[in-house]
Chain A
Amino acid sequence: DIVVTQSPDSLAVSLGERATINCKSSQSVLYSSNNKNYLAWYQQKPGQPPKLLISWASTRESGVPDRFSGSGSGTDFTLTITSLQAEDVTVYYCQQYYSPPYTFGQGTKLEIK
């Protein structure tokens, strides 16, 4: 199984500042035949199901604010939230979908400093 590890487990950022969450997979999730990274980011607010933010490591879903961006390739990935808003303060997960089981990271809790 591919192990996915997020860092940090929690992060405190001031409103309006940048938040950066890291995600590392135990093996590459870059599929060479199409040059796509099989890595997604989700946001989960309390009492709600997760919401897909980013697929293919860097492609924002429709309707996701452009302050959210994903980057990285191979085994190392980053979710960046520029200019943190109050509604962004919640938990974020990355997930690899390169090979089943499509494992999630343990989650990163984003808080206001």
Chain B
Amino acid sequence: EVQLVQSGAEVKKPGESLKISCRVSGYTFTTYWIGWVRQMPGKGLEWMGIIQPGDSDTRYSPSFQGQVTISVDKSISTAYLQWSSLKASDTAMYFCARQGPTITLDFWGRGTLVTVSS
């Protein structure tokens, strides 16, 4: 059974750093790209970027390029999304998802809620 298990909710202050995770099981991690999607409170879905776990080839949306870093640790089948300096506007739910054989996001994690507040 394919599963993407995301790390728990975070409450941070502006300027702090953060790395959230997405642990994958149920298939060979390096076979499919992993994507990250942001959903701000009460808003729609925003595609942030994707990473190929095999070689860490990464594509970012221009809206998120330079704002976040997507990475993986193949040894533990885990993808990461990190910020070096959080802003209040980073408050959102962040989903990881597998980009499956149809290139769509076919399996999703339950999301990690990130709250940034002073």
| Chain A positions near chain B (C-beta within 8 angstroms) | 1, 38, 40, 42, 44, 48-52, 55-56, 59, 61, 93, 95, 97, 100-107
Contact = CB atoms under 8 A, between A and B. Distances in A.
A30 to B, nearest CB: 14
A100 B97 contact: no
Interface of B: 35, 37, 44-47, 49-50, 59-63, 95, 97, 102-106, 108-111
Secondary structure dominating the interface of B: strand
A93 B110 contact: no
Nearest to A48: B110
A101 B44 CA distance: 15
Given A1-B62, A50-B95, A101 B47 contact: yes
Given A49-B97, A95-B45, 13 more contacts: A38-B103, A40-B104, A50-B45, A50-B105, A50-B108, A51-B108, A52-B104, A55-B102, A100-B59, A101-B62, A103-B61, A104-B45, A105-B44
Q: Which residue among B60, B61, B97, B105 has the maximum number of chain A CB atoms within 10 Å of its CB?
A: B105
A105 B46 CA distance: 9
Contacts of B59: 100-101
Q: Which residue among B44, B50, B59, B104 has the maximum number of chain A CB atoms within 10 Å of its CB?
A: B104
Contacts of A102: 35, 47, 50
B31 to A, nearest CB: 17
